[in-house]
Amino acid sequence: MNSFSSALGLHYICPTNSSKTNNMKRSLFLVTLLLSIVLPAFADDFSYQDGRASLSPYPTDRAAREFPDSLTPIFVNHVGRHGSRYPAGSLHTMMMKHALDKADSLNTITPLGKQLLEEVDAVIETTAGRWGALDSIGESEHRNIAERLFRSCPELLDSARVVAISSYSPRSIKSMYAFLHRLTELSSNIDATAASGRRFNPLMRNFDEDEAYKSFRTDTAYLATYNRFLSGNITIDPLLRVLGENYPLDYDTTADLALAEYYVSAGMNAMGLTSDASQYFTIEEYRNLWSIFNFRQYLLYSASTLSSRPAEIAAPLLQDIVMTADSVLTGKLHIAAKFRFGHAETLMPLLALMQLPGCHYLTNYFDTVADEWKDFASFPMAANLQLVYFKAPSGRIYVRGDLNERPVNLIPGKPIYVEWNDLRSYWLGLLPLE
């Protein structure tokens, strides 16, 4: 490794017995990286668990919350992501499988590569016929969230009418039913109504509906910004450790393959398999690869200086949250809770539009995104926003917001418990002008 690449923190292993063509491809790949590299400052507190990103299972250190005795819970507005699932698709897993099998046939594969191949085969075997499906971990996550909510306000939910909706995705539907089933196990007096389907797309899958947003996804500004960040943070060292120094890397697919190795590792825990990422990646490499995944989600599903549209697609959902609360509080709708089940791509735009801490960050310095907008902190599997409405002895209505069952400031500079009229006005002021 030359002094220039070492100073930049770029790890590169030069093969000793490769062909001139392969050497040239690798050199070109290295030069491309060096020319565009913009490495973010490395955070000392970043862990391998953090590197699982939004592919991480829901935190297990949650307990039923306690609310002030002076406040009476009267309604719950809930938006959640589906629970832990099998890999959403086979693309990255099969890409890694093909490369490892090829390395094995060429006799370039390393002992570590053979170990990874066994893990990849385990993913394929476990997931066969179930790509993207909710697994037992995901069901348990939603059952536990439902139980803790019930334990927090049994007086509201014990003999209540509740309604739930979900996207048409089977993993969201199953998450909804796991949640409701646990509630009805805790109280046979609960009257639960559930519905799903494409008619809820404007609320739960507006990323499929909004034409301006779909145009943004193909916009040259987005693609160029993402590709620059990708080039500046990708590393091929982990690939070479498993495929071998003499593996004939294809310049056109090397970055995709490097990310595929990361995706396979990061997503295994959500499907009940274990993998020690530290065997395959240094913590610096893992953070760099995670930062690429994190940055892509940030650009696509949160407001940024490139476009506000990824957040604005959540406007119908925010309006639904406000209108549902209005209907309940004015006595037009008699329900104790409304539960909504969608996707990370449902929750990310909503929380960005609400400008919740850690979920909304505007900057022209994209190398700082990984320090301020962290998918693993806010959007694990089964991520959820619970808005609990309370009546005070004075008759005033207060709202408390909990992100992943931890209190969050709904209005900057305001207390955790905020008056509904203030919150309502604040949210309506955040809606885009159409």
Is residue 114 situated within a structural domain? yes
pLDDT tens digits, residue range 258-308?
A: 999 999 999 988 888 888 999 999 999 999 999 999 999 999 999 999 999
Q: Give the number of other Cβ atoms within 10 Å of residue 92's Cβ.
A: 22
Q: Looking at the structure, tell me whether residues 73 and 106 fall in a common domain.
A: no
CB 348 within 8 A of CB 301: yes
pLDDT digits (tens, 9 = 90+) for 165-216: 999 999 999 999 999 999 999 999 999 999 999 999 999 999 999 999 999 9
Mean pLDDT confidence for 19-48: 49
pLDDT of residue 266: 93
Dihedral of alpha carbons 324, 330, 331, 332, sign = negative
The answer to the question of residue 276 being in a domain is yes
pLDDT band at 7 (very low <50, low <70, confident <90, very high): very low
Q: Please check whether residue 228 lies inside any domain of the structure.
A: yes
pLDDT at position 34 over 70: no
State pLDDT tens for residues 84-103. 999 988 999 999 999 999 99
> What is the reported pLDDT for 434?
67
Contacts of 257 (CB under 8 A, 6+ apart): 95, 96, 99, 239, 249
In a shared domain, residues 94 and 178: no
Tell whether 416 and 353 lie within a shared domain.
yes
| pLDDT at 44 (0 to 100) | 61
Task: Answer for the pair 111, 144: CB distance below 8 angstroms, yes or no.
Answer: no
Residue 295 within a domain:
no
| Cα 295 to Cα 329: distance, rounded to the nearest angstrom | 39
Place of tokens 């719950």: 76
Question: Are residues 64 and 154 both part of a single domain?
Answer: yes
Same domain, 239 and 347: no
Same domain, 256 and 269: yes
In a domain, 155, yes or no: yes
pLDDT over 70 at 247, yes or no: yes
The verdict on 397 and 410 lying in the same domain is: yes
Q: What is the pLDDT of residue 45?
A: 86
Q: Are 317 and 270 within one domain?
A: no
Residue 15 has pLDDT above 50, yes or no: no
The residue among 223 and 30 whose pLDDT is bigger is 223
The verdict on 232 and 338 lying in the same domain is no
Give the CATH number of the domain where residue 382 resides: 3.40.50.1240
The tokens for 344 are 């990370």
Residue 40 pLDDT > 50: no
Question: pLDDT at position 394, please?
Answer: 97
What is each CA distance from 301 to 195, 217, 298, 420, in whole angstroms?
Answer: 25, 10, 6, 27
- Over the chain, what HEC string results? CCHHHHHCCCCCCCCCCCCHHHHHHHHHHHHHHHHHCCCCCCCCCCCCCHHHHHHCCCCCCCCCCCCCCCCEEEEEEEEEECCCECCCCCHHHHHHHHHHHHHHHHCCCCHHHHHHHHHHHHHHHHHCCCCCCECHHHHHHHHHHHHHHHHHCHHHHCCCEEEEEECCCHHHHHHHHHHHHHHHHHCCCCEEEEEECHHHHHHHCHHHCCHHHHHHHCCHHHHHHHHHHHHHHCCCHHHHHHHCCCCCCCCCCHHHHHHHHHHHHHHCHHHCCCCCHHHCCCHHHHHHHHHHHHHHHHHHHCCCCCCCHHHHCCHHHHHHHHHHHHHHHCCCCCCCEEEEEECHHHHHHHHHHCCCCCCCCCCCCHHHHHHHCCHHHHCCCCCEEEEEEEECCCCCEEEEEEECCEEECCCCCCCCEEEHHHHHHHHHHHCCCC
Domain count, the chain: 2
Q: Which domain holds residue 367?
A: 52-86+132-211+305-430
In a domain, 218, yes or no: no
Distance CA 148, CA 3 (A): 55
Amino acid 19: pLDDT: 44
Q: For residue 337, which of 75, 145, 151 has the smallest C-alpha distance?
A: 75
Tokens linked to 215:
């145009």
pTM above 0.85, yes or no: yes
Q: Is residue 293 part of a domain?
A: no
Are 160 and 79 part of one and the same domain? yes
Q: Which sign, positive or negative, has the C-alpha torsion 235, 238, 243, 247? A: positive
Compute CA 295 distance to the chain's CA centroid, rounded to the nearest angstrom.
11
- φ, ψ of residue 253 to 5 degrees: the values are -120, 5
Do 314 and 374 lie in one domain? The reply is: yes
Query: Does any domain span residue 297?
Result: no
Residues 241, 111: Cα–Cα separation, whole Å: 9
Residues of the chain above pLDDT 90, percent: 85
Distance between CA atoms of residues 354 and 28, nearest Å: 44
Same domain, 260 and 321: no
